[in-house]
Chain A
Amino acid sequence: MIDKSYDIVIIGGGPAGLAAAISAFDNGVKNVLVLEREQRTGGILNQCIHNGFGLTRFKESLSGPEYAYRFVKQVKDRKIPVLTQTTVLSISQDKTITAINKEYGVFTVNAKAIVLAMGCRERSKGALNIAGTRPAGIFSAGTAQKYVNVKGYMPGREVVILGSGDIGLIMARRMTLEGAKVKAVCEIMPYSGGLKRNIVQCLNDFDIPLYLSHTITQIHGKDRVTGVTISKVDQNKRPIPNTEIYFDCDTVLFSVGLIPENELTKGMGVPLSPRTKGAVVYQDRQTLVDGVFACGNVLHVHDLVDFVSDEAELAGLSAANYVKNGASVHDTIDCVNGKNIGYVLPQKIDKNLSGDVKLYFRVANEFKNCKIVCECNGQVLAQKKKPVVAPGEMEYLVIKESEIKNANGQITLSLEELL
């Protein structure tokens, strides 16, 4: 049987969980356990066989599995125990984790600190109230990716994709390379939700048309999809009559957003942010429950895994500090999103923590020539100009430690358009 008590238990062995484990270990806490529900660690990177991972962190273009392996190996080298095919069923506020696997059945482990790193899930087609039938041939982009890249099967031959998030764009290219015909990518917003480089490399390079301000209004077919109707939408995202375009296809892929998977988090009573759909955290990634930390896509959806790794290292370090030093007293100021900002993270800044604070944020719309300003009581703590920003790309702004020490109220981040 496994040990009953650990200093740190990490929930999830994807890129966030692995980096957090390594960081906790290297910062002096050796008694760490990683729990992973899949057969192997690495998370969703294992099915992302395209390249482009690690450009920021390693200055190299790696495939998903290659990027994951760098962390998998480090965990192995440190002999950090990992339980795979182990699903966590619940976590209590006293940090008892109940999990299940084939070997131990239903079992519990106790932790001094917990790092939540469960990742996110795809928003499903069902969430969209799309009219029509419910035949075979409807997949989330990630499910299609798993069939093609991991299982070696084709989910269809003629494809229409709804949503221009990164997975949708990547799958447009992947399906094309496998001989499928991708007839259209529709995006309900007037701009793409994905990275610019993916629009160029995955759509433009393959002459796949992108229909902005369009959505699927009807799915056709009884047993298998036979076609879809798309329509242009107005400013309120409502379909405009008589703008319908019909496509014959046997497959529809949905890439319509990612949702942090926080069922365990909610179950243990950790407060969540309605904006990020992840836990409310301090700059060290501690949640509002002492000794519980969160990082990666379970905290907020990232577009680059490089940032996930950075964040997870921070959470791992903080968890290690918590184990070594115990709970600390917070001197909290709130950090909120102002004009034109979708969300900002962390939502809480603890003045008792040392160091500069990197505020991550997403803008609420596409802007050109703008300025991001971080203010407290009318005083500017930090700012930067940007020639172009889009909701699809996460941005950050650094506030100096000295500015934080002087701040004496709520911090607001906003975006001003420059003329």
Chain B
Amino acid sequence: MYDVVVIGGGVIGGTVLRELTKYQGNFCLLEKNDDVAMGQSRANSGIVHAGFDAVPGTNKAKFNVLGNKMMQSYAKELGVKYINNGSLVLGYDQEDRRTLLSLKERGEKNGVPDLAILEREQVLEIEPNIGDEVICAMIAPTGGIICPYELSIAAIGNAMDNGAHLKCNFCVDKIQKDGDVFTLTSKDGQVVQAKVIINCAGYYSDQVSALAGDETFQVEGRKGEYILLDRESGDFVSHTLFITPTPAGKGVLVTQTVDGNILLGPTSVEVPTDDTSTTQEGLQSVIEKVNRMCKGVPHYNTITSFAGVRAYCDRHDFIIEKSPKVQGLINCAGIESPGLTSAPAIAKYVVEQLVSTLFNLSPNANFNGVRTPDNFFKNLSTEQKNQLIKKDDRYGKIVCRCEQVTEGEIVRAIHENPPARSLSAVKRRTRAGMGRCQSGFCQATVLEILARELGVSMEEIALNGKGSEILVGKTK
């Protein structure tokens, strides 16, 4: 019997789980996939928004600004890369300028510091590659970037280090309540029990809520397609560049990532499922839009394209509340952008303000919030590297040449919390296979290391869990 079960291993579920472990209790995270951070936390823009977009008074506005303030120290504690690169919203004409002025006003109401309107020449000084049509921009110095799956994985790993449990491949199919106890059954018949459920199931949060008996909201999906450029072009822009928002959304962006790539996208298309396939039209529209924002976008340095589905709810604000229908159920739903930015603030609120009313929280004196990142070797000093290689010579073997990832880091990621069991899981923790050759050189080696460390055959190693095995058998 768990005190609290969190459903959904994305950035919200992960940060909520970690927040719970600051208190005494039995906590468990249920994730339907083979690894955590496989939904929208796997594929979004990775922006730490300043907070000028959201309508004042909404949950979005409140948690965005709070989360933005918390992010730097939160990321640092977890060993997660965060860069305060600042955001620029580009304007093409006088109507955009008026919109930017009202955005500035809105941001100031939300408590966003240091917003300013820059003229073209001023923008050119800090971003020389902006397009010819840009006449002005709003700068938000508190905007930043972070990697969404890195943050999710780190938060969950740290929560596990502090005693929380993780059950992957647990797709909640049934929720029954007897007295004060919930019984959750997975599709394949696994059972867990809990006194409190926190629903952070992203695209599926309305279904999970309905399973528990609360059908007060609906979640829809919006697909965003992205193009990622090689680190070689990483200095193409330094700020995150947005275009002036329209009622249809924030439009596409051009940004550096914390790993030094350039990210272009996303599109924004309503979709009936969470299918993350890319489309010719979508990718083409990203290219056309960013070519207006910037001159000479180095498309030739494309290393991959991908899509994510953002879940939004029919209330068009974050739902972060105790269910009005089901005692013991907390819903975190419709957490679209700026959800990533808001995550640390949402987690704190959920635990301190909502869980506390359902379950007696007493501090966990043993809580240690510090985590060593999975991909850390290349940032060490030569002396530190050599000390580590002396202790474990697998740190002296580079497996992924593009991102300079050592065997030591890969082995560590397989055994640390949350354990990596697939190629994609290793990739998202260590960056092995994330570089310009897209795993062409290192995949076979990573696969061998996984098979060896997990004690399974080569054929059992998958890209993303069951059904996505890489090899189909031995040669003749």
Contacts and interface: CB of A to CB of B under 8 A. Distances in A.
A100 B396 contact: yes
B393 A224 contact: no
A250 B468 CA distance: 11
Interface stretch (B136-144, B297-305, B318-326): B297-305
A102 interface: yes
Interface in B183-233: 227-228, 232
7 contacts: A87-B401, A102-B397, A121-B436, A122-B437, A136-B470, A140-B437, A218-B280
Contact of B227 (A87, A129, A156): A129
Contacts of B282: 131
A38 to B, nearest CB: 10
B474 A153 contact: yes
A223 interface: yes
B305 to A, nearest CB: 5
B283 A129 contact: yes
A269 interface: no
Interface stretch (A143-151, A280-288, A296-304, A407-415): A143-151
A37 B401 contact: yes
B404 interface: yes
Interface in B369-413: 382, 385-386, 389-390, 393-394, 396-398, 401, 404
Contacts of A154: 471-475
Contacts of B277: 131-133
A331 interface: no
Nearest to A177: B476
A207 interface: no
Given A103-B396, A106-B386, A135-B468, A151 B304 contact: no
B279 interface: yes
A419 interface: no
B283 A100 contact: no
Given A105-B390, A131-B283, A140-B440, A37 B385 contact: no
A242 B82 CA distance: 47
Interface centre among B227, B303, B444, B463 (most CB of A within 10 A): B444
B278 interface: yes
Given A37-B401, A146-B444, A224 B396 contact: no
B349 interface: no
B397 A85 contact: yes
A181 to B, nearest CB: 12
B276 interface: yes
B253 interface: no
Contacts of A265: none
Contacts of A127: 302-304
B440 A122 contact: yes
A101 B397 contact: yes
A152 interface: yes
A106 B394 CA distance: 13
Contacts of A178: 475-476
A105 B386 CA distance: 5
A157 interface: yes
Nearest to B476: A178
B467 A223 contact: yes
Contacts of B458: 151, 153
Given A37-B401, A105-B385, A129-B227, A121 B437 contact: yes
Nearest to B399: A87
Select the residue from B232, B466, B472 with max chain A CB neighbours within 10 A.
B472
A222 B277 CA distance: 9
Contacts of B305: 126, 129-130
Given A37-B398, A126-B302, A129-B283, A148 B444 contact: no
Given A122-B437, A124-B438, A152 B474 contact: yes
Most B CB atoms within 10 A — which of A122, A136, A140, A263? Answer: A136
Contacts of A89: 404
A217 interface: yes
Contacts of A223: 463-468
B421 to A, nearest CB: 14
Nearest to A179: B476
Contact of A124 (B276, B303, B306): B303
A127 B443 CA distance: 17
B121 interface: no
Contacts of B279: 131
Closest 7 CB pairs of A and B: A126-B304, A223-B467, A124-B438, A102-B396, A105-B386, A102-B393, A87-B398
A65 interface: no
A142 interface: yes
Interface string A81-125: 000010101000000000011111110000000000000011011
B472 A250 contact: yes
A224 B437 CA distance: 21
A130 B444 CA distance: 23
Interface in B428-446: 436-441, 443-444
A16 to B, nearest CB: 17
A105 B408 CA distance: 13
Contact of B469 (A101, A104, A218, A224): A224
B473 A105 contact: no
B234 to A, nearest CB: 13
B441 A121 contact: yes
B437 A102 contact: no
Contacts of A147: 444, 471
Contact of A106 (B278, B385, B470): B385
B459 interface: yes
Contact of B394 (A102, A122, A130): A102
B462 interface: yes
A124 B232 CA distance: 16
A121 B459 CA distance: 25
Interface string A342-364: 00000000000000000000000
B389 A105 contact: yes
Given A87-B404, A106-B386, 14 more contacts: A85-B397, A100-B385, A102-B397, A105-B386, A121-B436, A129-B283, A131-B277, A136-B462, A136-B464, A136-B469, A154-B475, A218-B280, A263-B232, A266-B232
A3 to B, nearest CB: 18
B462 A106 contact: no
Contacts of B473: 153-154
Contacts of A122: 437, 440
A224 B467 contact: yes
Nearest to A108: B382
Contacts of A124: 303-304, 436-438, 440
Contact of A129 (B302, B464, B467): B302
Given A133-B277, A136-B463, A105 B471 contact: no
A291 interface: no
A204 to B, nearest CB: 23
B438 A125 contact: yes
A266 B475 CA distance: 40
A134 interface: yes
B276 A133 contact: yes
A80 to B, nearest CB: 23
A142 B444 CA distance: 11
Nearest to B300: A127
Contacts of A17: none
A387 B90 CA distance: 56
B390 A126 contact: no
Contacts of A139: 443
A239 interface: yes
Interface in A200-230: 217-218, 222-224
Interface string B224-249: 00011000100000000000000000
Nearest to A107: B386
Given A126-B302, A143-B444, A155 B401 contact: no
Nearest to A217: B280
B467 A151 contact: no
